[in-house]
Amino acid sequence: MKVAVVGATGMVGEVMLSMLAERKFPLTELIPVASERSVGKKIQFEGKQIEVVGLQTAVNMRPDIALFSAGGETSLQWAPKFAEAGTTVIDNSSAWRMDPSKKLVIPEINANELTKEDKIIANPNCSTIQMLVALAPLQRIYGLKRLVISTYQSITGTGVAAVRQLENECQGIQDQMAYPYPIHRNALPHCDTFQENDYTKEEMKLVNETHKILGDNSIGITATAIRIPVVGGHSESVNVELRKPSSVEQIRTLLSNSDGVVVQDNPQTNTYPMPIYAHGKDEVFVGRIRKDFSQENTFNFWIVSDNLRKGAATNTIQIAEYLIENKLV
């Protein structure tokens, strides 16, 4: 089992490498891949030094699986080349997510749709993944009618430049900025670029990807995505209108028995999810579950997860594990 990690020297790529080792992924050969400027560098993996190779070299090595986290343009250009060589690509960028010929997969929800013919598989956006891991069980039992979403997203979702900006601002250093404004002691209602409808790309990903993954375009969805000076993970406040009646107790029980979900919900003991505790973990944490008294069949949720793990690396590797377990590669 030869596995290539494309974007191995980036923030998500580094997490992928550590998680392949942590989860004892059944690979026989690791191929770290990066841009030309990183070719020849060595990365550490399970006590070995492995040389980084370029994209064409990696294609020629014909890996069984390629885990991509190198941006949309790289993916659009190179994922088909890997696929033509017989490699199954699992891509972290937005390049293939809304392509009707490609599956958009969260293993807890729709991995069973995958077949051997799926050579390019899209990994959803981080904020979509954590939300739907928590809400898909509700969709199956009660149906989702409408979602009002506010996200509070970690700077790690932007990348190394954003982390550097926050660190510099904390120390009073002026340097290159990843954002148009300071992020230290601030909140930016601006994740990704603005679209013609005045929503950002990040906000529209929550709408479009949810419809595709759940296979239900009738769900009403509106979102506001906010960047905050946090490193550990993304948080989301989601107001959910169900199609059938439920109760807080029934919902807590359902989510407590759902794959990948941890319920942390006890106001009496100040127990609720926070990114400081989600950091470094693979689960999606759900709390502050309460009825919305202003509207029938409507509940509020606070959903937190490490965006670099379940929101990116973990979900990608879980897809690869599913492919291997079901002999689809």
Which residues are part of the catalytic machinery? Answer: 126, 234
Residue with tokens 């107001």: 239
Give the 3-state DSSP-derived string for 205-254, with helices as H, strands as E and coil as C: HHHHHHHHHHCCCCCEEEEEEEECCCCCCEEEEEEEEECCCCCHHHHHHH
Torsion, Cα 272 278 283 289, to 10 degrees, reads 20
Burial grade of 188 (CB within 10 A; 0-12, 13-18, 19 or more): middle
* CA gap 139, 132 in Å, rounded: 9
Asked if 281 contacts 274 with a C-beta cutoff of 8 angstroms, the reply is: no
How far apart, in Å, are the Cα atoms of 314 and each of 19, 240, 277? 7, 26, 17
**Tally of residues, the chain:** 329
Residues with Cβ within 8 Å of residue 145, at least 6 apart in sequence: 219, 220, 241, 242, 243, 297
Alpha helices in the chain (DSSP H): 11-22, 55-60, 72-84, 107-110, 126-141, 160-170, 201-214, 248-256, 275-278, 314-325
